[in-house]
């Protein structure tokens, strides 16, 4: 159950105070969510077109992990064409 309960026997001042506390709590939570969203989505700038699965440094990755094999394959492809 909610921490801020409005009951039938409350005065208008008590109700407004309860609503204000609930609104402050809600706004604080929304502000935190917005800050987290801004900080966690900054990594998306690295990817092209927003595709998280796309490599932006594909040539570097291939050279680092597959080096000679990639160069040999590319040379065969170039001879074929």
Each residue's pLDDT tens digit, 22-79: 999 999 999 988 888 777 766 655 555 656 666 667 788 888 888 888 888 888 777 7
- Stated pTM of the model: 0.44
* Residue 2 falls in which region: left (phi positive, over 0), alpha (psi -120 to 50) or beta: beta
Q: Quick one: average pLDDT of 6-20?
A: 90
The pLDDT value recorded for residue 28 is 94
Task: Say whether pLDDT at 1 is over 50.
Answer: no
The pLDDT value recorded for residue 50 is 58
Q: In the chain, what are the domain boundaries?
A: 1-40, 48-81
Instruction: With H, G, I as helix, E, B as strand and everything else as coil, classify residue 79.
Output: helix
- C-alpha to C-alpha distance for 6 and 18, rounded to whole angstroms: 7
């Amino acid at each position: 159950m909610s921490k801020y309960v409005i009951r039938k026997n409350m005065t208008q001042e008590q109700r407004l105070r309860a609503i204000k506390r609930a609104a402050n709590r809600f706004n604080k939570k929304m502000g935190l969510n917005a800050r987290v969203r801004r900080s966690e989505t900054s990594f998306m700038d690295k990817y092209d077109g927003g595709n998280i699965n796309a490599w932006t440094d594909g040539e570097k990755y291939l050279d680092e992990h597959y080096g000679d094999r990639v160069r040999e394959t590319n040379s065969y492809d170039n001879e074929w064409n």
